[in-house]
Amino acid sequence: MELQLRKSDTLNVVGELAAGIAHEIRNPMTALKGFIQLLQGSIKEDYSMYFNVIMSELKRIESIITEFLVLAKPQAIQYQQNDVCKIMRDTIDLISAQAMMHNVQIIAEFEENIPFIYCEPNQLKQVFINILKNAIEVMPKGGDINVNIQKTAGNQICISIRDQGCGIPQDKIKKLGEPFYTTKERGTGLGLMVSYKIIEEHQGKIDVESQVGVGTTFHITLPIERIEKEDEDEAGVQCV
């Protein structure tokens, strides 16, 4: 409980700051990219390696900004009764090419008659993409990802995403969702932070089960009905 409260506070502050800064950085970044691409055509071949590094670093900045902007709560956010199974199916379709390229098979099994839940479909899609992408990335030699959706006690649904990747040591599990926590050479350490934040806003929670060398399962629990609170600031902090 204490851990969740602390994480939630950090995320709120980081989110607000990040959204503002990200918007400001985006425009000059676009200009930089454009001019570098222009220059690239008119400069000696010996320098092409430097240009590749510049472009790849610019792309990295862009992906950091894009992930941060999810926290910005744009006006388009619309909570409605939605079919999570359909949102998950659409997400799997979206990511299937990437999975195939890495020899990863995504096996989906959804319980019948999963009720619609009150949620923001684009944001949930973002969470599913982040977790599925991580699962693909930890299986460099390929493998299976099992995606299950079922109804659980307490009027909730649980979405589980299980991989056969490297696993996460127990003492590192608590670090997941912290801004910039990454073990990847080119990671941003933002995907899970954004995901935790979105699920918190949906009054749900993410639990991680993992065994090193065997694999990891992310369990996302979401309430079917949203509890209207007098003080919305506390949304997501309440946990069972």
Contact residues toward ligand ADP (CB under 6 A) are 130, 134-135, 138, 163, 165-166, 168, 176, 181-184, 187-193, 216
The dihedral through the CA atoms of 89, 93, 95, 97 has a sign that is positive
Residue by residue, DSSP assigns 192-209 as HHHHHHHHHHTT-EEEEE
Residue 91, binding choice from Mg ion, ligand ADP, none, Cβ under 5 to 8 Å by partner class: none
CB of 65 to ligand ADP, least distance (A): 14
Using CA atoms, how far apart are residues 20 and 144, in angstroms rounded to an integer? Answer: 39
Tokens of 223: 């309430």
Chosen residue from 121, 165, 177, 191 binding Mg ion by CB under 5 A = 191
Binding segment for Mg ion among 64-72, 80-88, 93-101, 184-192 (CB under 5 A)? Answer: 184-192
CB distance 168 to 208 below 8 Å: yes
Residue 184, binding choice from ligand ADP, Mg ion, none, Cβ under 5 to 8 Å by partner class: ligand ADP
CB of 97 to ligand ADP, least distance (A): 19
CB distance 118 to 225 below 8 Å: yes
Check residue 116 and report its DSSP letter: P
Tokens of 191: 């995907």
Residue 166, binding choice from Mg ion, ligand ADP, none, Cβ under 5 to 8 Å by partner class: ligand ADP
> For residues 85 and 145, which CB has a smaller minimum distance to ligand ADP in the complex?
145
CB of 126 to ligand ADP, least distance (A): 12
Chosen residue from 8, 91, 126, 134 binding Mg ion by CB under 5 A = 134
Residue 216 binds Mg ion, judged by CB under 5 A: no
For residue 30, what is the enclosing H or E element? helix 2-40
